């Protein structure tokens, strides 16, 4: 039972740390991330590993790294599945959250690529449209010239028929 309380306390402390980290100013977040990294370099135990993983998971930061966070979480020693463990459940929850973010990122990248492809197609169609407009303008100019030539031809025929008539 004391181990379970200890795990619960660790999870609560981790949740509080993550909440505090998310609500802080960027410069304080950076300092906390650097502190977590330094602590992990000195002592690579499960609590420091979890703390660094949580710092790496903060959205909107330049150091966010879901892959590294997943690696750190995967290295945490967990209780066997047949034993109740709050920490194991928490770590699995975080791993699932990371996987969901990766999936969402992948979907977002696919949508972005689809939009880029649609944009390329639209630009190609716009170029074709511009080419068609140019062709129409050329056709209009040629039609005007043809009409002018017909008018000249008609005038010439009228003049020549007047001259030939007595």
State pLDDT tens for residues 58-104. Answer: 999 999 999 999 999 999 988 788 888 898 999 999 999 999 999 99
Domain boundaries, given as residue ranges, for the chain: 2-111
For residues 52 and 71, give the distance between their C-alpha atoms in angstroms, rounded to a whole number.
11
Q: In this structure, what token pair is assigned to residue 156? A: 């010439």
Q: What is the pLDDT of residues 30-56, one digit of tens each?
A: 999 999 999 999 999 999 999 999 999
Helix (H) or strand (E) holding 153: helix 86-164
- CB environment 82-105: b (16+ within 10 A), e (fewer): eeebbbbebbeebbeebeeeeeee
Q: What is the pTM of this model?
A: 0.69
């Amino acid at each position: 039972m004391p181990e379970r309380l200890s795990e619960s306390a660790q999870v609560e402390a981790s949740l509080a740390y993550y909440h505090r980290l998310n609500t802080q100013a960027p410069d304080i977040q950076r300092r906390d991330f650097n502190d977590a990294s330094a602590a992990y370099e000195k002592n690579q135990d499960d609590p420091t590993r979890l703390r660094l993983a949580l710092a790496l998971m903060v959205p909107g930061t330049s150091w966010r790294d879901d892959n590294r966070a997943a690696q750190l979480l995967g290295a945490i020693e967990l209780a066997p599945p047949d034993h109740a463990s709050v920490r194991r459940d928490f770590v699995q929850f975080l791993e699932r959250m990371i996987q969901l973010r990766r999936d969402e990122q992948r979907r977002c990248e696919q949508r972005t690529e689809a939009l880029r492809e649609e944009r390329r197609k639209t630009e190609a169609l716009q170029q074709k449209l511009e080419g068609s407009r140019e062709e129409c303008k050329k056709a209009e100019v040629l039609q005007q010239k043809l009409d002018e030539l017909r008018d000249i031809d008609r005038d010439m025929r009228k003049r020549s028929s007047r001259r030939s008539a007595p």
